[in-house]
């Protein structure tokens, strides 16, 4: 079964999806409004960081299985993988999804399949189907529509696209079965079919489950600081119970999934109190970290260094990163000299690139506090003896319980730990 597959949106999910479809033997074209993305793709290059992706892109571009296009063309399958940002009122911005759908109205033909991969609130796939009705074709009989959300972890996307189970939610049974057949060319996990709203809610609830658990851990960290105990010890010992798995606290929750999806679940819903409260706890963590920093550094003009900017370790993705929120709070509410370091984030694509320092030595020089904000692997074996010589004060605030307290104390540092007073 060789079909022509068009991926609309070549971001963190769309580009890897295009690559694995091409590797499986499909003819694949990728479309994106960002011309730099298309230019890079057609050279066999990528603009994002993901292990294994660049080599795979080079392979499928060089053998002609994948190419980038600036103008959409006829295809057998259209997969919409565009962003679904969140509005200021915490509702989903479906403008990119709607625009992508509108762009294929005049080129879809009988027998075509349209898949919405973008994470969306319940009902979005039916909205896509309604827009496609403008083509004059019978949706569900001549054009088949479904939602099939990705369920992958950045840093493991190529592997998990292939190996993870997948959900396909069709606007009708025929749509679900046809889309299942398309994905079966590369998915080794089991593919489950259901209706589109159920599939949409499944993806959202997977991330909501994690968000609520992280909120529980963050609330424990807050209580532990108030009581005078170590939240990390509580979690370690509590998780010895065979049916307990408390997640880890931190400076907030980021990424386009966990920080956003719970809001889509409760969009326009008067209920959902637990989900809403969990979001508020996690969204409030950057401010708590700010207050802790201000309690450590009394000098209002001091230099403060943040180590790590991405929303999770060992990736370059800063979408919804709580550390970016922390930077904004520091700029708004303090006169600190702010120095930033991250070995993964591209300075040219970063909003505060004037604050981002390539050299760790330069980033920490004359600083009164180093904040370990993201636990990148590169930070595990930092030369703290040298760092201590460069800093004005030997003070470290570890928000991830990542650094060796024994080593830091031995070198004369004062260590503050999130979740411990």
Active-site residue set: 203, 257
CA distances from 241 to 120, 216, 219, 232 (A): 36, 17, 20, 15
Sheet of 395-398: strand order equals 337-341, 303-307, 369-372, 395-398, 414-417
Tell me how far apart the alpha carbons of residues 96 and 106 are, in angstroms, rounded to a whole number: 18
CA-based Rg of the chain, rounded to a whole angstrom?
23
- Residues pairing with 8 in the sheet: 31, 80
- What is the largest distance, in Å, between two alpha-carbon atoms of the chain? 74
Nearest residue to 365 (alpha-carbon basis) of 330, 337, 344: 337
What's the start-to-end Cα distance of the chain, in Å?
Answer: 61
Q: Which two tokens stand for residue 290?
A: 């700010």
CA distances from 107 to 83, 131, 192, 207, 419 (A): 22, 13, 29, 35, 56
């Amino acid at each position: 079964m060789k079909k022509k597959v068009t991926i609309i949106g070549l971001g963190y999910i769309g580009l890897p999806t295009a690559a694995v479809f091409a590797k499986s033997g499909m003819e694949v074209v990728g479309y994106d409004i960002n011309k730099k993305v298309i230019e890079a793709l057609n050279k066999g290059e990528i603009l994002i960081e993901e292990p294994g992706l660049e080599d795979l892109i080079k392979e499928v571009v060089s053998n002609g299985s994948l190419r980038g296009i600036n103008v959409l063309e006829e295809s057998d399958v259209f997969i919409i993988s565009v962003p679904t940002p969140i509005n200021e009122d915490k509702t989903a911005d479906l403008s990119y999804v709607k625009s992508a759908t509108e762009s294929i109205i005049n080129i879809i033909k009988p027998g075509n399949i349209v898949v919405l991969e973008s994470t969306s609130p319940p009902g979005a796939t039916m909205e896509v189907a309604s827009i496609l009705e403008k083509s004059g074709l019978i949706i569900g009989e001549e054009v088949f529509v479904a939602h099939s959300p990705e369920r992958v972890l950045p840093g493991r996307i190529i592997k998990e696209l292939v190996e993870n189970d997948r959900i396909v939610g069709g606007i009708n049974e025929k749509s679900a079965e046809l889309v299942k057949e398309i994905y079966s060319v590369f998915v080794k996990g089991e593919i489950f079919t259901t209706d589109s709203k159920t599939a949409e809610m499944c993806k959202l609830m997977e991330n909501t489950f994690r968000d609520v658990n992280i909120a529980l851990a963050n609330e424990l960290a807050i209580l532990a600081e108030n009581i005078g105990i170590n939240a990390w010890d509580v979690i370690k010992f509590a998780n010895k119970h065979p049916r307990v798995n408390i997640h880890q606290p931190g400076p907030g929750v980021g990424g386009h999934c966990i920080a956003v999806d719970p809001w889509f679940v409760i969009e326009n819903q008067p209920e959902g109190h637990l989900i809403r409260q969990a979001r508020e706890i996690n969204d409030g963590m950057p401010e708590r970290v700010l207050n802790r920093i201000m309690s450590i550094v009394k000098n209002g003009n001091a230099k403060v260094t943040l180590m790590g900017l991405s929303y999770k370790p060992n990736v370059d993705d800063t979408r919804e990163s709580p550390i970016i929120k922390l930077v904004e709070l520091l700029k708004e509410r303090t006169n600190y000299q702010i120095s930033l370091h991250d070995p993964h984030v591209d300075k040219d694509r970063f909003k505060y690139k004037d604050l981002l320092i390539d050299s760790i030595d330069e980033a920490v020089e004359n600083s009164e506090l180093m904040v370990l904000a993201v636990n990148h692997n590169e930070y595990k074996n930092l030369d703290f003896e040298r760092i201590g010589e460069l800093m004005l004060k030997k003070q470290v605030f570890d928000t991830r319980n990542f650094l060796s307290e024994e080593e830091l104390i031995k070198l004369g540092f004062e260590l503050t730990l999130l979740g411990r007073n």
